[in-house]
Amino acid sequence: MTTATLDKPIKAPAFREISLGRRIRNNIATSVMSLCFAIALVPLAWVLIVVVSKGYHSIVRSGWWTNSQYGVLPEQFAGGVYHAIVGTVAQALVAAIIAIPLGVMAAVYLIEYGGGRLAKVTTFMVDILAGVPSIVAALFVFSLWIATFKFQQSALAVSFALVLLMLPVVVRSTEEMLKLVPDELREASYALGIPKWKTILRIVIPTALPGMISGMLLAVARVMGETAPVLVLVGYSQSINFNILDGNMASLPLLIYQELSNPQPAGVAMVWGASLTLILIIALLYLGAAVVNKLLTRNR
């Protein structure tokens, strides 16, 4: 190779200019998608505006977050939703304690060990649970837990129904996160002589953990607004009840349903205030899922 050849400048590869027709089609597709996105946001924004405008004055009232409705008459603008918040959180928390371990173990089995007839049956059952309406889950728990085993209506029965609704969400979200773990990490671990179960615990699950936690929080947020289980499996109480095994227990969806039968202005204010409270709690869970995912991903 001569010096003249070395001194010759290297030309950058020439790219063909995008044709006018392709740019027009791209702009049309972008405009159509943007319009569809804006149309989809209209009902969401409308709901938020209406709920915030009608429920804002209730949630800023003194005692809303710290008092219950014990001793409050239907026509009184008094009390708060502390008892309903406690019930909502307690029922969802118990359901999460049961559903999350079961969902994670099922997802690990399907991704890491599945492949036989049992895996096909498990996948089929998860798909069935994903399509079960909440009222059907509530009636199933009622027929088994209350009608057959003769237990009383309680918040625990509500949690059992919420488990059926939460389980497929946890399984599917965990499955997707485990699929994103590169196979090279598993193969490198196996090459070092590490057993498969320890590879799953030390390599696979920690790698997929940020997305798994986000999916778990989203599953909890999804079941917190369910109404059918609380209508069928527990009664409403105006006072605070911390015992999930016995007695009636309020929740935000049940409080909304109960106050709908109150024609007084105070009842209408309670409905909108409880609705806005439920939206805020669920929004905080979604925000928490995003924050946890970002922090864990950054610290990896």
Reduced to 3 states (helix: H, G, I; strand: E, B; else coil), residue 63 is: coil
Question: Residue 280's closest CA among 1, 20, 95, 48?
Answer: 48
Name residues of the chain where pLDDT drops below 50: 1, 4, 14-15
Specify the pLDDT at position 10.
Answer: 56
Question: Residue 157's closest CA among 271, 222, 274, 251?
Answer: 251
Specify the pLDDT at position 290.
Answer: 86
Alpha carbons 153 and 296: distance in angstroms, whole number:
40
Mean pLDDT rounded to a whole number for the chain: 90
Looking at the whole model, is its pTM more than 0.75?
A: yes
Q: What is the DSSP string of 206-246?
A: HHHHHHHHHHHHHHHHHHHT--HHHHHH----SS----TTS
Alpha carbons 223 and 26: distance in angstroms, whole number:
40
Alpha carbons 87 and 261: distance in angstroms, whole number:
21
Alpha carbons 72 and 80: distance in angstroms, whole number:
10
Alpha carbons 113 and 119: distance in angstroms, whole number:
8
* The one-letter amino acid at 204: V
Specify the pLDDT at position 90.
Answer: 95
Specify the pLDDT at position 203.
Answer: 92
**CB neighbour list of residue 265: distance below 8 Å, 6 or more residues apart:** 75, 77
- Structural domains in the chain plus CATH codes: 82-299 (1.10.3720.10)
**CB neighbour list of residue 72: distance below 8 Å, 6 or more residues apart:** 78, 79, 238
Q: CA-CA-CA-CA torsion for 293, 295, 296, 300, nearest 10 degrees?
A: 130
Which helix (DSSP H) or strand (DSSP E) does residue 95 occupy?
A: helix 82-108
* The one-letter amino acid at 196: K
Question: Using CA of residue 288, residue 289, residue 291, residue 297, what is the dihedral sign?
Answer: positive
Specify the pLDDT at position 11.
Answer: 55
Alpha carbons 177 and 184: distance in angstroms, whole number:
16
* The one-letter amino acid at 199: T
Alpha carbons 87 and 95: distance in angstroms, whole number:
12
Specify whether the CB–CB gap between 279 and 58 falls below 8 A: no
